[in-house]
Amino acid sequence: MRPVTGERELRGVAVYPDIVIGKAHLIDRSRVKILYQCFVNGEELDREVERFKEAVHTVEDQFVSLKRKMPDKVKDQSFILDSHLMILKDGMLYDSTVKTILKEKINAEWALKKSLEEIREVFEQIDDEYISNRISDVENVTERLLRTLSGDTGQSLGEIDQRVIIVAHDLSPADTTELNTARVMGFITDVGGKTSHTAIMAQALEIPAVVGLESATALVEDGDLLIVDGSSGVVVINPDDSAIIHYQEKKLQLQKYKSSIARTSHLPAETPDGCRVAITANIEFLEEVTAAKDYGGEGIGLYRTEFLYLRGKGFPEEEDLFDDYREVVEIMNPAPVTIRTLDLGGDKFASEIAISGESNPALGLRAIRFCLREPEIFKAQLRAILRASLYGKIQLMFPMISGLQELLDAKQILEQVKEELDRDNIEYDTNMEVGIMVEIPSAVAMAEVLARHVDFFSIGTNDLIQYALAIDRINEHVAYMYEPFHPAILRMIRQVVKAARDAGIEVALCGEMAGDPLCVSILLGNGIDRLSMNARSIPLIKKMVRTIPMKQAKADLKKIMALNTAKEVRAYILEGTKRMFPELEEKGYLLD
Ligand code: PEP
Ligand code: MG
């Protein structure tokens, strides 16, 4: 029996700044009951091991299939499912469970439970909130295995087809990807923190959510009316009329704020003291071009071209590439489109490309290195880009340039392709600009030399942070160290901008930093010419640029550059941003 009647308020961790009011739908994600069984006979034990291995296979297939079906919005987060796949086969879980079954002569469920307890003990000794929170990933994987072993796979969240708010003890990231976002209005959970993958997933899917409520499943009943305020972390169970009116008003204010930003998104990003910054969009698919325009993008600053190669239908023909590039360029014309040549490898693989057996793919045959090794694949893409350049303004960009020789080699192939086109009387824009991503520390060191050979730089902070700080960007165990405010990164950005300024070329920045409200002032102060980001971030970043005077950004940057740790930099920036944009904190935009 529920101990309360009437309205009750719970507080948890706010995940995505929006408010929903709707009916609760309880999901039974309670832990599976585990029975202890002991065996004496070897055959029975072999069967237990086999049963465990089969469950691992089944769950593996489920994760692979969920990953394949992930909505585009959350494709960036597919590493979460990769990490689940890794956990499945991790020695501490897999080998140790098999060993325990055989050694202690017990059933697979009990052995698995023991493995989880051992892993939990290891995690508990880690004095870091982010890492210790990652135990929830191991728990999610174990839970799925236990359900599979017990034959109880529970309700599939993909089947929920009503306008409801999900209430669950925990939702794994895999559960979250399954949600029918067109129907499910939001979710709340007992467990979870702001860095949990479920929270990250909710943000990517733009679902209002509050996690870490501790007792939501105990206090909420199926069909209860709920208010979920994803901006403050408040959940109201069975609200009275005044609470409903209050939150409806708050939702209205939040929507008004969002649309007030959206309404001005077509205005240029010019600081109050008259400095103009170009704001462009990053896209991965042709379909995103319209959104880029709608959100006020002044061009495409990064077209990641891997998608057509990753569809798993063989390599795209030059003609398919040409059609795709031409359409993007025509839609954006006269605004510029920066097409980045193929960046396969690292965490992006095409099944047709055998870059196998690399123990360190991020440091392996990736991006331009791969293209220089496979000139025919590279040339087909360059031909398509050059041919499309007639239909608008294309800027060509090479990724992962580590030094001058690599750039010269890439440019030489580009020249060969131009000669071939000339020979075939095929026209292209002979003035097409050529630039590079600066995303490897050696390119930063060589920036002043490289700047003399290109028309523009685009700083790729996603990789620059990875390589400069030695933090694998897809390894969640070190994600807490992935720090854009590290003074080393700020120094590198400054060095690249200076090299570009001295050579008189444009410098853009297209990593995630560009769309982060906390980074705007630093990037402005550095004098970056163009910021390229996820289209959704454009309206807010433009508004911020229109509010921060360049003089102030420069003065702040000077103070920031005197700070020696990322923690100090972050605290300084957070304080300044809250002071200047109090509504951002209030409306839940500064979740960090
Ligand atoms: C980067 O590295 O910052 C970048 C924009 O490229 P990607 O994220 O595609 O590696
Ligand atoms: Mg990169």
Cis peptide before 334 (omega within 30 of 0): yes
CB of 460 shorter than 6 A to ligand 1:
yes
Residue 1 has pLDDT above 50, yes or no: no
| Maximal CA-CA distance, the chain | 82
> Could you say which architecture CATH assigns to the domain 8-28+156-260?
3-Layer(bba) Sandwich (3.50)
Cβ–Cβ < 8 Å for 370, 355: yes
Active-site annotation, residues: 197, 510
CB of 462 shorter than 6 A to ligand 1:
yes
Residue 439 annotated as part of some ligand binding site: yes
DSSP string, 30-91: PPPP----B--SHHHHHHHHHHHHHHHHHHHHHHHHHHHT--GGGGGGHHHHHHHHHHHH-T
CB of 192 shorter than 6 A to ligand 1:
no
Minimum mean pLDDT range among 150-154, 272-276, 435-439, 535-539: 150-154
Rounded CA-CA distance 526/552 in Å is: 12
Nearest residue to 406 (alpha-carbon basis) of 380, 451, 372: 372
Minimum mean pLDDT range among 154-158, 288-292, 583-587: 154-158
Residue 473 annotated as part of some ligand binding site: yes
Give residue 154's pLDDT: 63
Is the domain covering 264-586 a CATH 2.40.50.100 domain?
Answer: no
Identify the residue whose C-alpha is closest to ligand 1 atom 4: 460
Ligand with an atom nearest the CA of residue 399: 2
- 148-188: per-residue pLDDT in tens? 887 766 666 777 778 899 998 888 777 777 777 778 899 99
- Each domain of the chain, given as residue ranges in start order, spans 8-28+156-260, 42-150, 264-586
Mean predicted confidence (pLDDT) in 528-553: 95
Identify the residue whose C-alpha is closest to ligand 1 atom 5: 511
- 472-505: per-residue pLDDT in tens? 876 656 767 889 999 999 999 999 999 999 999 9
Position 29 confidence tier, pLDDT thresholds 50, 70, 90: low
- 350-394: per-residue pLDDT in tens? 545 555 567 788 898 899 999 999 999 999 999 999 999 999 999
Position 30 confidence tier, pLDDT thresholds 50, 70, 90: low
Q: Vertex 342, ends 338 and 344: CA angle to 5°?
A: 140
Give residue 313's pLDDT: 62
CB of 510 shorter than 6 A to ligand 1:
yes
- 60-93: per-residue pLDDT in tens? 888 887 777 776 666 667 777 888 888 888 888 9
Q: Vertex 230, ends 227 and 232: CA angle to 5°?
A: 95
Position 206 confidence tier, pLDDT thresholds 50, 70, 90: confident
Residue 304 annotated as part of some ligand binding site: yes
Atom index in ligand 1 nearest the CA of residue 466 equals 2
Instruction: State pTM to two decimals.
Output: 0.69
Q: Vertex 171, ends 227 and 60: CA angle to 5°?
A: 155
* Summary count for the chain: helices (H), strands (E): 25, 17
Cα-trace Rg, the chain: 26
Give 561 or 253, the one with higher predicted confidence.
Answer: 561
CA distance between the termini of the chain: 38
- 86-133: per-residue pLDDT in tens? 888 888 899 999 999 998 888 898 899 889 888 888 887 777 666 666
Rounded CA-CA distance 419/433 in Å is: 17
CB of 343 shorter than 6 A to ligand 1:
yes
Atom index in ligand 1 nearest the CA of residue 304 equals 9
3-state SS, one letter per residue, for 431-480: CCEEEEEECCHHHHHCHHHHHHHCCEEEECHHHHHHHHHCCCCCCHHHHH
CATH class of 42-150: mainly alpha
Rounded CA-CA distance 319/117 in Å is: 56
275 CB-contact burial (10 Å; exposed 0-12 / middle 13-18 / buried 19+): middle
Rounded CA-CA distance 137/118 in Å is: 15
Identify the residue whose C-alpha is closest to ligand 1 atom 9: 304
- 254-282: per-residue pLDDT in tens? 888 888 898 999 999 999 999 999 999 99
